[in-house]
Chain A
Amino acid sequence: MNLISADSVVKDFTGHRALNHVSMDVPLGSIYGLLGPNGAGKTTLLRIINQITAPDEGTIYFNGRPITGEDRMEIGYLPEERGLYKKMKVGEQALYLAQLKGLSRAEAMQRLKVWFEKFDISEWWGKKVEELSKGMAQKVQFITTVLHHPRLLIFDEPFSGFDPINVNLLKQEILQMKKDGATIIFSTHNMSSVEELCDHITLINRSETLLQGEISGIREKYKSNLYRVTFLGDGEKLSREIDPRFELLKVEENGMGRQATIRIRQEEGSNELIRHLADKVEIKAFHEVIPNMNDIFIQVVNQASDKQ
């Protein structure tokens, strides 16, 4: 069952169309990645889901019915451009934002204390936001986003601007929240985080949906029968003598030794390749190359632009 869905959403700004009949289904309890180059329309879509702007066509469904203003209470949003009231004190501001999300003052206080301790920023409670470093301000902002235990969390480029330690911290939190039953959408360029965290993705570019679905399925789909062999032996000889059934793409020398990347045509099995190679070289390791999201991203986007 989908917690939130976008159904054929269209959004126009003067002179250009930002979203062209984009649909997206986010299953309950999943971590959903929204990918795409800069200017693709990701932020626009997220803003529409957050009811910050309204779509020109199409509907957003929350829990199976069209989304309402009240549903804001169930959603936590961390925008790409981070910001807080500079002159306001940290604690006071966190309380204010939490109350705007529907928490009572007492509840908010309680939870804030817990989070501040967890992130080790308790001493910053009484400081003005402008006195914090960027990383700390981001931590504070993250806390205000999740404080009301929303069912749906939306992060726009959450990892940008965080140092590696905080990136890791964030990843842990996201996984924990999933365990606690939340659904999470985040947009990012950081492909490795996509592979680590996401179950599903949507890739959009120039207002169109290019790719959508479960990650494992997509990676399967983009397999191109590539195999990597780590071996001992003469690479030159291999490239000369390899059977035409198999396409030797490259041989490289790296930390693992010598590696050959070979593509086999559909009909041949991998065992065939192993048998064939075993005659020529000493095989140390053999595995299928499953494309990573980074490569898929580039491939898909370039394909689409070539078409246009």
Chain B
Amino acid sequence: MSKTSLIIQREYITRIRKKSFIIMSILGPFIFAAYVLIPMYFATLEDKEEKKVVVIDESKLFTEYTPDGSQFVIPETEYLKFQVIEGVELETFRVGFNETGYYAVLFIPSNILASESALLYSTKQVSIDVSNYIKSNLETEIEDLKLATHDISDIDRILAEVETTLNVRSIKWTKDGQTQETNTGVVMGVGYLGGLLIFFFIFFFGSQVMRGVIEEKTSRIIEVIVSSVRPFQLMMGKIIGVGLTGLTQFIIWIVFSFLLITGLQAAFFPELGRTPTEQVVDSDMFGGGGIPGGQLGAGSAGALNEQTGTGPVDGISPEDEGLATADMDMAQEIFASLKSINAGVMIGSFFVFFIFGYLLYAAMFAVIGSAVDNETDTQQLILPVILPLILAIYVMIGAINNPDGALPFWFSMIPFTSPVVMMVRIPFGVPYWQVGLSAALLVMTFIGMTWVAGKVYRTGILMYGKKNSYREIWKWLRYSS
């Protein structure tokens, strides 16, 4: 076995066997699944809680009088109930409201048509969904009332005819003249996830390389090893060994996460009636950006849809407003969308940028490790290396809204940020020449960086007690022999 292979093998096996690896392998998917499922759970949880809203309708416009008592015109949902109360002052509710068991008090002033405002009182913060629901339904009622005053005959029939629910679907034209359904949310989510994963991977495993180098320095075994192999072989062996560990970890996670989410969803959320993938993708779509409102919107949109059968135009946070209507349409769109993202290019480029991005940064981490005597000294040296990655994350967030903009374009070309930024752009469709050019640049930079790193590493591993600074590292670079 060649020496480099021996080193790779040792680096890989020592790390795979560590307790921390096994724990992370198991924990990782749980954390990921939790990230996906817990918001889902909370979204549905919120809605299951019954909310009773007291209605004080001074205007008397929205109350129907039936033999059973006064009824509020706005229909109740499974979780939202209205109770019309008459002859009670608003003020009386203010004291000891919590004990009443009511969620809120809806106060409709007598001059509502003129003032165009109603009030929701509560001791808690009224949820957006509830207030939007009330708002939109009241608006409809008031519009009806206003229409009625214009005395148009047949107004109901006309309104029914006029009512429209529009479905705007995105369709992408592909090279071969086909059409493909797309759903922006899904695309965003996938790209975002890809970029984040690469960032995490590079950072986490890059620093493992660094720590390995430092360990060899402090335990002094470096001298023995280097009398048997060339420093460059040791460096590459370590980088590749750690990289393989990361890849293994990553694959374990993907498999576990998928199984876990499928399993848990079937166990706890079967009533949501969707296939696991749809659930995942759905939550991912809204939750990918970590936007809390979005996640809430997803769950409640689903719940409200099923209960009221109304369109989800209201009652959802702004991000979701432009999207599909009924559940089935949404599911179909998502799947179509996923297919539209050219899976081959996607996965292929993911791995290329993933791997070479890691290799590029791992070489830099190896250099830092060789320049210090202990881990605390690394802090000041790490910052310049990490900066491009952090920058890339910020650009990535911007790229989501404007994937072909100038900033995302350039950052997806520059080798230090391209692994992250290009990943975000790809789901939106990037011309092959751009992907190819970016990848080529990345590979070339990686080769150059490794060459440089090898030189610095070779000197650094035997140096102790030197000031750790980039100036020192530059000196070593010129010790070429």
Contacts and interface: CB of A to CB of B under 8 A. Distances in A.
A144 B221 CA distance: 12
Interface string B218-244: 011111111111100000000000000
Nearest to A88: B14
Interface string B193-237: 000000000000000000000011001111111111110000000
Contacts of A100: 3, 6-7, 225, 228-229
Contacts of B14: 87-88
B475 interface: yes
A101 B219 CA distance: 20
A69 B230 contact: yes
Given A53-B462, A69-B230, A100-B229, A83 B6 contact: no
Given A52-B226, A85-B215, A96-B6, A79 B462 contact: no
B51 interface: no
Interface string A165-179: 000000000000000
Contact of A72 (B215, B221, B223, B227): B227
B223 A81 contact: yes
A159 interface: no
Contacts of B216: 85
B1 interface: yes
Nearest to B220: A83
Interface string A59-94: 000000000010010010111011111111000000
Interface string A18-60: 0000000000000000000000000000010011111010000
A97 B10 CA distance: 11
B475 A97 contact: no
Interface in A143-167: 144-145
Contact of A84 (B219, B227, B481): B219
A133 interface: no
A99 B219 contact: no
A14 interface: yes
A77 B220 contact: no
- Residue among A56, A69, A77 having the largest count of chain B Cβ atoms under 10 Å: A77
Contacts of B1: 99
B52 to A, nearest CB: 62
Contact of A52 (B6, B10, B223): B223
B224 A83 contact: yes
Contact of B462 (A52, A78, A84, A88): A52
Contacts of B223: 47, 52, 77, 79, 81, 83
Given A85-B215, A96-B10, A144 B227 contact: no
B475 A85 contact: no
Contact of A75 (B222, B226, B227): B227
B220 A97 contact: no
A52 B475 contact: no
Nearest to A52: B226
B228 A97 contact: yes
Closest 3 CB pairs of A and B: A83-B220, A77-B227, A100-B228
A236 to B, nearest CB: 57
18 contacts: A14-B475, A47-B223, A47-B462, A50-B227, A52-B462, A53-B481, A75-B227, A79-B223, A79-B224, A84-B224, A85-B221, A97-B225, A97-B228, A99-B6, A100-B6, A100-B225, A141-B224, A144-B224
Contacts of B475: 14
Nearest to B222: A83
Contacts of A96: 6, 10
Interface in A123-146: 141, 144-145
A101 B228 contact: yes
A83 B1 CA distance: 25
- Residue among B1, B6, B222, B224 having the largest count of chain A Cβ atoms under 10 Å: B224
Contacts of A141: 224
A77 B1 CA distance: 22
B6 A82 contact: no
A85 B213 CA distance: 11
B236 to A, nearest CB: 14
A50 B220 CA distance: 16
Nearest to B233: A100
Contacts of A54: 481
